[in-house]
């Protein structure tokens, strides 16, 4: 190795990358520390592996660690490891150039990320440029390294200001490993202070907490003075300082990568502690899955199902709960690519050793390993939920059932796995959950369809006039009160060969209509339709009603009243669909209106009664009247006349 300092020029494409890193404004500059810690961890991994065949290579330096040394006065940041180190030639090959590491691919990925600034930092590292992310925060980088082994007795120094060149020369270093010193850039107004202990502590906790080696930093602490050093008065009371400032080395990371251990080696308390750290949820998890996959693809996974739904479960921009690691090094904490939206409540960690650090989301979506992991995790979750007993599953469904059901229309391929997990209250369940399997088992011998009704209040649905004939026949009806159910029934057309049928749409075909009686009412129904032309498209005898006078229904393909209500509540335009007014020909009120109509078709009260029949139908399904004052006055007048 030459003793004098040599100056080298970066290749054009490498300088291009450096310019992007140095001059672009990134929203997350913290990644420089993650990258440097990751490199240090890899270096220690390599020397540990080499020590298996060369036991003497470690010498007396057998306590592996990664040391951080911020200096607020000098405005420097130093990171040291006692890993494998590098020779002069290795420095030139690994640090001096990155052309062999996929520069063209990196630049291409950056091109795709234009306009998506948050993606750019995630690409750093994937193509072997992680070391250079330090230039986001440093004006100059100095690297001093010494390779492990008896032959590597000379250290090497590499220096660059990222200005197109770098220098390499011989140096002095007592022990193997690498020390990198960053001369930090002048701090801008909103920049983090990377010499501040809490900043460093938080970055390590978030990004490198489970690195397998201690990440240490000297911190200042107040420690009590020995009693003999405390100045006291005549009453033996302290009159001076009782503590002193001392510097102590502190380990910043937990190193508890429990997902890499066998489940038999991990205590329940450790699982719970890790869950709380991961989720910031102080309730214990409801269930967990600790998985190790081995073979052509190897990865570890530790998944948790919370016991309580987070408050932001339905917030559009909420983050997913899956943290992605590679060899215990954090990649991202919002990995939507590993878990479908309907499992967004699942918390956990996936550690895929074959995955590149900082892989971009765009690449994750196409990565075969990631797709394979996702498929296996989803299968395991379905297995877990399917095996839960009712005592555990029902509380789970109370919290997350509405989210799980989203998968029936967002993931059609999984619809048949999700449908058996769906639960509903019914007209016969007395407030308890009923599965579709149990519903089908309990169907009457002459029942051909699974009946359901949608709405926002269970009590209103349970007492809906639409269900009167169904109850009379002792048919069970699913009471769907989650907004998502409106989309579920559009996807789930049948279950176990039985079609789903809305209790408020289409003909129920429960009883044959008396054609002669219907003929007798045609004229009245035509009159009522004429008066309510702007509100209804048809007036007809009801196949649903037994005790009530009227109800509103729709054709099979029409939007339900609840769906219309949901759209309006969310500010979306709802199509103007007229409903069908169904009247109970067996009800005394309808019979008396028919008699009045036949005796005096010009009677002004007929129009009032027509309007009242419609308003009663709206109220019966929990709808809002356009003119509630008019309805109230009409009911009051009727009551007054009845009392006379």
What CATH number corresponds to the domain at position 587?
A: 1.20.120.790
Point out the least confidently predicted range of 75-79, 215-219, 390-394, 636-640: 636-640
pTM of the model: 0.73
Q: Has residue 193 got a pLDDT over 90? A: yes
pLDDT at 208: 87
Q: How many structural domains does the chain have? A: 4
Q: What is the pLDDT of residues 94-111, one digit of tens each?
A: 775 543 444 455 555 555
- The CATH code of the domain that includes 377 is 3.30.230.80
**129 appears as a binding residue in the annotation:** yes
**407 appears as a binding residue in the annotation:** no
Judge if 37 and 174 occupy the same domain.
yes
End-to-end CA distance of the chain: give it in Å, rounded. 117
Q: Has residue 188 got a pLDDT over 90? A: no
**102 appears as a binding residue in the annotation:** yes
Return the closest-CA partner of residue 86 out of 137, 5, 157, 187.
Answer: 157
Judge if 466 and 576 occupy the same domain.
no
Does residue 3 belong to any structural domain of this protein? no
Judge if 36 and 86 occupy the same domain.
yes
**39 appears as a binding residue in the annotation:** yes
Domain stops at, among 349, 371, 387: 387
Mean pLDDT in residue range 446-453: 95
Judge if 144 and 191 occupy the same domain.
yes
Judge if 404 and 368 occupy the same domain.
no
Q: What is the pLDDT of residues 389-436, one digit of tens each?
A: 999 999 999 999 999 999 999 999 999 999 999 999 999 999 999 999
Range of the domain at 215: 14-225+242-248
**81 appears as a binding residue in the annotation:** yes
**128 appears as a binding residue in the annotation:** yes
Domain stops at, among 454, 481, 502: 502
Q: Which helix (H) or strand (E) holds 637?
A: helix 628-643
Helices and strands (DSSP H and E) totals, the chain = 21, 23
> Please, are residues 319 and 344 in contact by the beta-carbon 8 Å criterion?
no
**194 appears as a binding residue in the annotation:** no
Does residue 614 belong to any structural domain of this protein? yes
**94 appears as a binding residue in the annotation:** yes
**245 appears as a binding residue in the annotation:** no
- The CATH code of the domain that includes 43 is 3.30.565.10
Judge if 34 and 167 occupy the same domain.
yes
Does residue 308 belong to any structural domain of this protein? yes
Across the beta sheet with 347-352, the strand order is 287-293, 299-305, 347-352, 321-326, 329-332
pLDDT at 121: 43
**488 appears as a binding residue in the annotation:** no
* Opening angle at CA 505, ends 502 and 511, nearest 5: 85
Judge if 132 and 157 occupy the same domain.
yes
Q: Has residue 602 got a pLDDT over 70? A: yes
| Cβ neighbours, 10 Å, residue 491 | 16
> Please, are residues 400 and 309 in contact by the beta-carbon 8 Å criterion?
yes
Domain stops at, among 248, 282, 301: 248
**String of DSSP letters for 6-62:** EEEEPPHHHHHHHHHHHHS--S-TTHHHHHHHHHHHHHHHHHHHHHTT-GGGGTT--
Q: Has residue 167 got a pLDDT over 90? A: yes
Q: What is the pLDDT of residues 29-39, one digit of tens each?
A: 887 898 899 88
Does residue 5 belong to any structural domain of this protein? no
Judge if 31 and 163 occupy the same domain.
yes
pLDDT at 464: 94
Measured in whole angstroms, the distance separating CA 392 from the mean position of its chain's CA atoms is: 22
pLDDT at 25: 42
Helices (H), 388-514: 390-404, 407-410, 415-418, 436-441, 458-462, 468-472, 485-491
Does residue 235 belong to any structural domain of this protein? no
Q: On the CB side of 103, how many CA atoms lie within 13 Å of its CA?
A: 15
pLDDT at 544: 92
Judge if 295 and 377 occupy the same domain.
yes
pLDDT at 326: 84
**Burial class of 375 by CB neighbour count within 10 A (0 to 12, 13 to 18, 19+):** exposed
What tokens were used for 599?
A: 């005796």
Q: What percent of the chain has pLDDT over 90?
A: 54
pLDDT at 246: 83
Judge if 396 and 382 occupy the same domain.
no
Sign (positive or negative) of CA dihedral 103, 77, 32, 207: positive
> Please, are residues 111 and 16 in contact by the beta-carbon 8 Å criterion?
no
**82 appears as a binding residue in the annotation:** no
Does residue 530 belong to any structural domain of this protein? yes
Judge if 373 and 401 occupy the same domain.
no
- The CATH code of the domain that includes 457 is 3.40.50.11260
| Cβ neighbours, 10 Å, residue 404 | 21
Does residue 231 belong to any structural domain of this protein? no
**127 appears as a binding residue in the annotation:** yes
pLDDT at 118: 42
**String of DSSP letters for 329-379:** EEEES--GGGS-GGGTT-EEEEEETTSPTT--HHHHHH-HHHHHHHHHHHH
């Amino acid at each position: 190795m030459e003793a004098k300092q040599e100056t080298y020029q970066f290749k054009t494409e490498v300088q291009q990358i450096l310019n992007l890193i140095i001059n672009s404004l990134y929203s997350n500059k913290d990644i420089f520390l993650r990258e440097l810690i990751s490199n240090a961890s890899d270096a220690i991994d390599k020397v540990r592996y080499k020590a298996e065949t060369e036991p003497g290579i470690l010498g007396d330096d057998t306590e592996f660690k990664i040391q951080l040394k911020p200096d607020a006065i000098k405005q420097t940041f130093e990171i040291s490891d006692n890993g494998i180190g590098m020779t002069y030639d290795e420095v030139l090959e690994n640090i001096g150039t990155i052309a062999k590491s996929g520069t063209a691919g990196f630049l291409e990925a950056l091109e795709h990320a234009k306009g998506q600034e948050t993606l750019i930092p995630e690409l750093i590292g994937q193509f072997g440029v992680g070391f250079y992310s330090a230039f986001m925060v440093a004006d100059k980088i100095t690297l001093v390294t010494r390779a492990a082994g008896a032959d590597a007795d000379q250290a090497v120094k590499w220096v660059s200001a990222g200005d197109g060149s770098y220098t390499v020369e011989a140096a002095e270093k007592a022990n193997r490993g690498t020390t990198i010193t960053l001369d930090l850039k002048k701090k801008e107004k909103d920049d983090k202070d990377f010499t501040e202990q809490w900043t460093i502590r938080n970055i390590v906790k978030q990004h490198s907490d489970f690195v397998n080696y201690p990440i240490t930093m000297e911190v200042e602490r107040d420690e009590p003075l020995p009693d003999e050093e405390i100045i006291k008065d005549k009453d033996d009371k302290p009159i001076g300082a009782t503590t002193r400032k001392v510097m102590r080395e502190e380990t910043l990371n937990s190193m508890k990568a429990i997902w890499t251990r066998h489940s038999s080696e991990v205590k329940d308390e450790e699982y719970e502690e890790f869950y709380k750290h991961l989720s910031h949820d102080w309730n214990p998890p409801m269930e967990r899955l600790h998985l190790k996959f081995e073979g052509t693809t190897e990865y570890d996974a530790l998944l948790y199902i919370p016991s309580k739904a987070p408050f932001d479960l339905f917030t559009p921009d909420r983050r997913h709960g899956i943290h992605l690691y590679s060899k215990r090094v954090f990649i991202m904490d919002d990995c939507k690519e590993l878990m479908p939206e309907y499992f967004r409540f699942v918390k956990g960690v996936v550690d895929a050793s074959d995955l590149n650090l900082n892989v971009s989301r765009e690449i994750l979506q196409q990565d075969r390993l990631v797709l394979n992991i996702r498929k296996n995790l989803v299968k395991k979750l379905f297995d877990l939920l399917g095996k839960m007993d009712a005592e555990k599953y029902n509380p789970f469904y109370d919290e997350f059932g509405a989210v799980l059901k989203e998968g029936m229309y967002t993931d059609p391929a999984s619809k048949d796995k999700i449908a058996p997990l769906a639960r509903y209250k019914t007209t016969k369940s007395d407030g308890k959950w009923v599965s579709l399997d149990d519903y089908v088992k309990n169907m009457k011998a002459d029942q051909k369809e699974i009946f359901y009704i949608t709405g926002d209040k269970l009590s209103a649905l349970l007492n809906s006039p639409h269900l009167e004939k169904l109850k009379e026949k002792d048919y069970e009806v699913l009471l769907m009160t989650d907004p998502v159910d409106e989309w579920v029934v559009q996807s789930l057309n049948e279950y176990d060969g039985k079609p789903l049928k809305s209790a408020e749409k289409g003909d129920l075909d429960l009883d044959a209509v008396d054609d002669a009686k219907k003929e007798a009412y045609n004229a009245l129904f035509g009159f009522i339709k004429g008066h309510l032309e702007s509100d209804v498209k048809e007036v007809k005898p009801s196949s649903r009603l037994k005790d009530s006078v009227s109800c509103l229904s729709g054709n099979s393909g029409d939007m339900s009243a609840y769906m219309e209500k949901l759209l309006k509540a969310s500010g979306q335009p709802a199509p103007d669909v007229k409903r069908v007014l169904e009247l109970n020909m067996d009800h005394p009120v309808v019979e008396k209106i028919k008699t009045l109509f036949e005796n005096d078709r010009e009677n002004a009260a007929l129009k009032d009664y027509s309007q009242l029949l419609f308003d009663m139908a709206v109220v019966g399904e929990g709808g809002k009247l356009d003119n509630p004052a008019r309805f109230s006055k009409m009911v009051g007048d009727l009551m007054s006349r009845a009392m006379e």
